[in-house]
Structure 1
Amino acid sequence: MKKRVSVLLVAVSSVLILSQVAFCPTSGEVPQVEVFFSPQDNCAREIISRIDDAKSSVYIAMYFFTSRPIAQALVKAKDRGVDVKVCLDKEQPAYEYSKSEYLRNKEINTRLVGGSGIMHHKFCVIDEHIVITGSYNWTARADLENDESLVVINSREIVKKFLKEFNQLWQGEKIDTYKYKDKTRMEKVPTQDVIKSFTHERIESVYIGHKGTKKFHRPNCRFGKRISENNRITFSSRKEAINQGYIPCKVCKP
């Protein structure tokens, strides 16, 4: 029995040592990692707690950001002198509960990231030594309904890589995925014909108008989705809608 216990202890010790070697950055630093899951672990509280503890900087790249409590925590951080910067996907302002306009109104440095694909990142770098990442978007649904993961890593070496990516996004250096070619990739870039058909389809219905109210909306606006086929009209540009006497929706702000 003692022999079995000894063998088991040696095996467990070996796994722990190997895991540290495999994940340990070049500096010899051992990352501190915490893992949380929603809805059971109150991920929003974990995020806000770390934002509240920020001393110098909070840099965020977030695909979907509708959480008011987290947005308010960022405003408080900015008000106490923390450098707060937020990168959001270019389509974020179109969503009803997006916090993009709220952040800008509160004088939070915010940038919309374009490109041929979407800005699908979900990470936050705090004080250049903590990164919060995972599947978790900063939304109420992610916190209360979805099965999501949130990983908090304390490691300057790992954070350097996230900072590099954030700075590229902030400076507009995002790679155009349609132009990026690599024959070793498992997934292949769509052909130009496919790209053109997608682009054409999107351009043809950029805005939706209501013939009765004379208002126009973004395609994903909840009011735009309610327009019946008989009352629906599409515009390829904002200018076209305005020239035809339509006024922009006050909710989605097209």
Structure 2
Amino acid sequence: MNEQQFRKLLIDTVKVGDHPEKDQIISLLKISVVRFEKTGEFTRRLWNHYKEYIYLCIIPEKIIELKKYEKYLDGVCDEIYPPDDEYEFWSLLIRPGSLPVDEEISQEILFEGIQQQIIEEIRSAKYLIWIAMAWFTDPVLYKELLKKKTQGVTIEIVMDDNDKNRNAEFDLSTNFPTHWVRIESLYKNIMHEKFCIIDLNTVIHGTFNWTKAANYNKETISIDRNRTTAEAFADEFMKLKKSELLKF
């Protein structure tokens, strides 16, 4: 297991854990880098095994925040450390470092558990959430957005102006700036975009509409943690937002 794979396993393990602040921990881990440090010093616990340290490196302004969870993360690392004939996990050390490079920020494809993953991404938002959605009628995701609003996160939504959205059991316009888009042409068309931008760094996009029915369909989403990709989707969001009516 390489360092990048270990980091992903660490994040996935925290996700399924029961730590009360796991969403905050995950958001910190996503901007951290894992480094292995193998030593020539015997552990004196397992026969003929050397100490291996795991360094968790994060930008200096976040290091104090991450160190609050050092003991917990040390325990998780000890739990998931792969068996080795030569080395034994000895300790987790948190050190200052740089942001992960783009290659370390993976694209994640999901075919199952999509709604839950979207919830986790919403909960990780710290600054803004921009949503462009053909259909948005899922009250579960709506309630998650309300929670983020109370935390001060800026939320804006672009919606297709159709009867299903207008007659949903909740009114998005009451709580969020909502831009209703109608496409007018010779044919009856809809605004068919389905994406969500989080903190201008993460994009969720694919076939999944934010509806109850989508949870029972065969759907796919991609989660891209990449600034360049996020900005491309943000440009599209701004184009949609600026128009109340798109003409062809």
Normalised by the size of structure 2, how large is the TM-score? 0.54
Q: Secondary structure at the match of 1:115?
A: strand
Matched, 1:47 2:121: no
Summarize deviations over 1:127-183 as a string: whole Å, max 9, x none. 00000000000111111x21000111100001111000001111118752x3xxxxx
Q: What CA distance in whole angstroms lies between the structure 2 residues aligned with 1:54 and 1:43?
A: 17
Q: What CA distance in whole angstroms lies between the structure 1 residues aligned with 2:245 and 2:228?
A: 22
Matched, 1:149 2:225: no
- Indicate which of 33, 39, 44 corresponds to 2:107: 33
2:210 maps to 138
Summarize deviations over 1:186-244 as a string: whole Å, max 9, x none. xxxxxxxxxxxxxxxxxxxxxxxxxxxxxxxxxxxxxxxxxxxxxxxxxxxxxxxxxxx
Q: What CA distance in whole angstroms lies between the structure 2 residues aligned with 1:125 and 1:94?
A: 20
CA contact (8 A) 2:109 2:223 kept: yes
CA contact (8 A) 1:168 1:174 kept: no
Aligned residues: 143
Runs of 4+ in 1 over 6 A off after TM superposition: none
Q: What CA distance in whole angstroms lies between the structure 2 residues aligned with 1:96 and 1:165?
A: 26
Q: Secondary structure at the match of 1:139?
A: coil
CA contact (8 A) 2:180 2:244 kept: no
Q: What CA distance in whole angstroms lies between the structure 2 residues aligned with 1:98 and 1:119?
A: 21
Judging changes above 3 Å, is the alpha-carbon distance between structure 1 residues 92 and 125 closer, same or farther for their aligned structure 2 residues?
farther
Q: What is the percentage of aligned positions where both structures have the same residue?
A: 31
1:124 maps to 196
CA contact (8 A) 1:56 1:82 kept: yes
1:80 maps to 151
Summarize deviations over 1:47-71 as a string: whole Å, max 9, x none. 0111111000000000011110100
Q: Secondary structure at the match of 2:120?
A: helix
CA contact (8 A) 1:56 1:127 kept: yes
1:224 maps to none
- 1:118 to partner: Cα distance: 1.2
Structure showing greater Rg: 1
1:6 maps to none
More strand by share: 2
Structure 2, unmatched stretches of 5+, are 1-100
Matched, 1:115 2:188: no
Summarize deviations over 1:26-79 as a string: whole Å, max 9, x none. xx8335111111xxx221111011111100000000001111010001111111
Any residues of structure 2 matched to 1:92-241 within 5 Å, and which?
A: 92=163, 96-97=167-168, 99=170, 101=171, 103-105=172-174, 107-116=175-184, 117-143=189-215, 145-172=216-243, 175-176=246-247, 178=248
Q: Secondary structure at the match of 1:48?
A: helix
Judging changes above 3 Å, is the alpha-carbon distance between structure 1 residues 78 and 104 closer, same or farther for their aligned structure 2 residues?
same
RMSD: 1.9
Q: What CA distance in whole angstroms lies between the structure 2 residues aligned with 1:81 and 1:142?
A: 29
Q: What CA distance in whole angstroms lies between the structure 2 residues aligned with 1:160 and 1:32?
A: 16
Judging changes above 3 Å, is the alpha-carbon distance between structure 1 residues 121 and 43 closer, same or farther for their aligned structure 2 residues?
same
